[in-house]
Structure formats: C-alpha cells, structure tokens
Amino acid sequence: MRFLFLFIFYYNNLFLFLKVPGPRSVRSSIIRLIHLVVEEGVGNADDAGLRSNLWSQAANLADILLDALKMYLDSCEENPSLFAQAKQEVQAERSAILELFLKGREFERAALLAEKYIDFGTLLTVCDQTMNEDKLNVYIDKLGDSGFTEFACKW
C-alpha cells in the first residue's frame, strides 16, 4: 500500500512541469517550448531523422530569442550601468539555452549559435568536448580581437 502511494506520488510529479501553467511572458514561453522540444520531443523520437528535425526546431527557436536579446543588449550600450546589468542577464539566459544543446551533444548546432551570439564559454566547451584543436584555432583567429583569446587562457 505504501509502495502504491509512493508510486502514484512520483508518477504525478514526473509530469508536473507539463501540468502546471508556466510564467506568463513570451520569452518564458519560448524557453519552455525549447525544453519541451528537447526533453519530451527528442526523448520520445525513435527515429534519427525526427530527432534531427526537432533539434533543428529547438535551434530555430533559440536563434529567434537570442536575436531579440542581442538587440536589447546592443541598445543598452550607451548606458554603462544598464549595459552591465543587461549583459549579465543576457549571458545567463544564453548560456542556459546553449547548455541544452551541449547536454544533448548537439555540438555543431551549439557552436553555430555560440559563434553567432558570441558565447565564448560554449565555443570552448564544444572544442573541449569534441577535442577539436583546429576549431579552437579558427575561433582564436576569428574572435581573438573580441577577447576570445584572453577568455580561453582564463578558461
């Protein structure tokens, strides 16, 4: 009887994130949808082609959101204190989104997004996880002036 109770309790909570209404903003909704695509969609897809399509959709959604956040960050440049706050917020959001692709070992997609939105941490993680020194050198050449080399040394 106790086992049955525990089973019912854990089963109901397993899908709690699907049942509870989420935060009421467009940004939060897009992030929630990306999680749904990656965790439930990819997790349930039994076909490599289907999984690839879903990852592509997740990347598309991430790109749209990161583009909007970049626009916001760029507009704050002339206000140093606001820019610093916005940069922290945007970096945290961006890293959290790209982490999904890294966890799913979608390194190519993660690298494309990270390069586009200048996420040095993700680029270095991709190079590290794929043990690709050539790629690292390409990034150093391309992004060295943006502080990538310094970041890589500290990383």
Which residues make up the interface to other proteins (CB under 8 A)?
A: 15, 17-19, 21-30, 32-33, 36-37, 40-41, 44-46, 50, 53-54, 57-58, 60-61, 64-65, 67-69, 71-72, 75-76, 78-79, 82, 86
Nearer to other proteins, 60 or 146 (CB): 60
**Smallest gap from residue 41 Cβ to other proteins (A):** 4
Q: 35: Cβ–Cβ under 8 A, 6 or more apart, which residues?
A: 100
End-to-end CA distance of the chain: 52
User: Which of 45, 37, 56, 61 lies closest to 108 in space, CA to CA?
Assistant: 56
Nearer of residues 30 and 138 to other proteins, judged by Cβ: 30
Is the CB of residue 34 less than 8 Å from the CB of residue 61? Answer: yes
Going from the C-alpha of 67 to that of each of 18, 38, 70, 78, 105, the distances in angstroms are 27, 20, 5, 19, 23
**Nearer CB in complex with other proteins: 24/154:** 24
Alpha helices by DSSP H, 15-155: 16-19, 26-35, 43-44, 48-75, 80-103, 107-116, 120-130, 133-143, 148-154
Q: Which two tokens stand for residue 123?
A: 């680029």
Which of 31, 126 has the CB closer to other proteins? 31
Nearest approach, Cβ of residue 58 and other proteins (Å): 8
User: In angstroms, what is the minimal distance from the CB of 44 to other proteins?
Assistant: 4
- Least separation in angstroms between residue 122's CB and other proteins is 19
7 or 15: CB nearest other proteins = 15
Nearest-approach distance from CB 36 to other proteins, in angstroms: 6
